[in-house]
Amino acid sequence: MRMLDGIELSEYAKRREAVLKSLKGSVGLVFAGDHPPPLRGDWDPNFHFLYLTGILDEVGAMVFFDPTAPDPDKRIILFLRPTNPEQDIWDGLREPLGQALREKTGFKTVMRTTMLPRLLTEAARRSKKLALLHPIANYNAPIGPDYELFQKVAARLPGCGIEDRADLIVGMRQIKSPAEIRQIEAAIKATKSGIERLWKSLKPGVSERTLHQELIRGFEDAGSKRVAFDPIVGSGANGVILHYKQNDQIAQDGDLMVLDCGASINGYAADVTRSFPVNGKFTDDQREVFTTVLKAQEAAIKAIKPGAMMSDADKAARRVLEKAGFGDYMPHGIGHHLGLETHDPGLYHEELKPGMVVTIEPGVYLPHKGIGVRIEDDILVTKEGNRNLSAGIPKSAAEMERVSK
């Protein structure tokens, strides 16, 4: 079993205890997911499961919350799929149940999923309340895994209800602990290392591919083993494409480049964007757009504080863009929560609280001029207001004119 580094076992245990308490007597299940490991890239567990366990590679695992269990040690159970020697030939050996596994995971009780039907039915008979902890699916998406299972349980048990508690773990995940903030800061440091390494190779005629490779080497130099998302290394007209990731063109003299990237450290993401001239000198048009986007970003960051909402930051940025005549050229939102996922769960119209980390990333895209500018930083909400965690990565116009060789 592989586990995330960087967060103590005791912190995972505290998170689970907090869920148990908040369930107020209802039974809950959090699934790791059971899609098969892909040939390309890592298998990622469901992020709620990862948040509660740190376990990276147990396909089909679950965390079971049963506040009504008579034995206190059985109120939170880690369920793992039975071992299968045939499958282990493909995926590697899995540990047997026992003390060593309990110590490694920090769970007092670890069982095989073959036991779940009986335990879940017993729990449901005692509690009569099953709580949905996974996100509620839109009607055109597959039903959530907990709802699918709970419907079967409830169909066999008169008086058993199913309740929506999908905001519970989302709310917990939004407030980052000091240990989580340290991981995000480390991811930002690795991102800085990558960006600065890329800048060392930046000049007209260099390929986006070479720059991409330098970026990744710079992440790795700083201890990152994977990217938080596919980086966007977009020169000229490619910088206008919001999700450009081919990174296979040549950066030309006179192009602006949009570099949107993030390293991942111990499962936590960074997400930073810088925009700079490939030849070290903004044209007048480029400078006008750049200066406006930077001003919009500063206004939006200023709006980030406890009690404010992401929508307030969005409005602050758009006011600046509109005044400069670019009001129609930011087709995306101002940002998103950041954490285990690059796009961590969170809503536009909910109050920001200390401990939340969000991105602020206004942009202006002018396809008719081949000019795209986005500037993105990672902002921690503090009691006093906010702290820009990625402030150490240069971004001013003067600095951006110095990064090209």
Q: Which residues bind ligand GLY (CB under 6 A)?
A: 229, 260, 271, 342, 361, 376
* Torsions phi, psi for 95 (to 5 deg): -70, 150
Stretch that binds Mn ion, among 18-26, 119-127, 309-317, 370-378 (CB under 5 A): 370-378
Shortest reach from residue 285's CB to ligand GLY, in Å:
24
Nearer to ligand GLY, 360 or 371 (CB): 360
Shortest reach from residue 382's CB to Mn ion, in Å:
20
Nearer to ligand GLY, 26 or 342 (CB): 342
* Torsions phi, psi for 136 (to 5 deg): -75, 125
Separation CA 156–CA 182 (nearest Å): 47
Nearer to ligand GLY, 362 or 370 (CB): 362
Nearer to Mn ion, 52 or 228 (CB): 228
Under 8 Å between Cβ of 107 and 79:
no
Shortest reach from residue 361's CB to Mn ion, in Å:
5
Under 8 Å between Cβ of 297 and 317:
yes
- Which residue, among 266, 192, 259, 189, has the nearest Cα to 226 in the 3D structure? 266
Among the listed residues 105, 238, 297, 359, the single contact to Mn ion using CB under 5 A: 359
Shortest reach from residue 339's CB to ligand GLY, in Å:
13
Q: Is 374 left (phi over 0), alpha (psi -120 to 50) or beta?
A: beta
Nearer to ligand GLY, 214 or 341 (CB): 341
* Torsions phi, psi for 337 (to 5 deg): -70, 155
Among the listed residues 44, 66, 146, 260, the single contact to Mn ion using CB under 5 A: 260
Shortest reach from residue 266's CB to Mn ion, in Å:
20
With CB cut-offs between 5 and 8 Å by kind, which of Mn ion, ligand GLY, none does residue 180 bind? none
Q: Are strands 263-265 and 226-227 parallel, antiparallel or unpaired?
A: antiparallel
Under 8 Å between Cβ of 182 and 6:
yes
Q: Angle CA(144)–CA(146)–CA(150) in degrees, nearest 5? A: 120
Nearer to ligand GLY, 15 or 337 (CB): 337
* Torsions phi, psi for 316 (to 5 deg): -60, -45
With CB cut-offs between 5 and 8 Å by kind, which of ligand GLY, Mn ion, none does residue 193 bind? none
The footprint of Mn ion (CB under 5 A) covers 260, 271, 359, 376
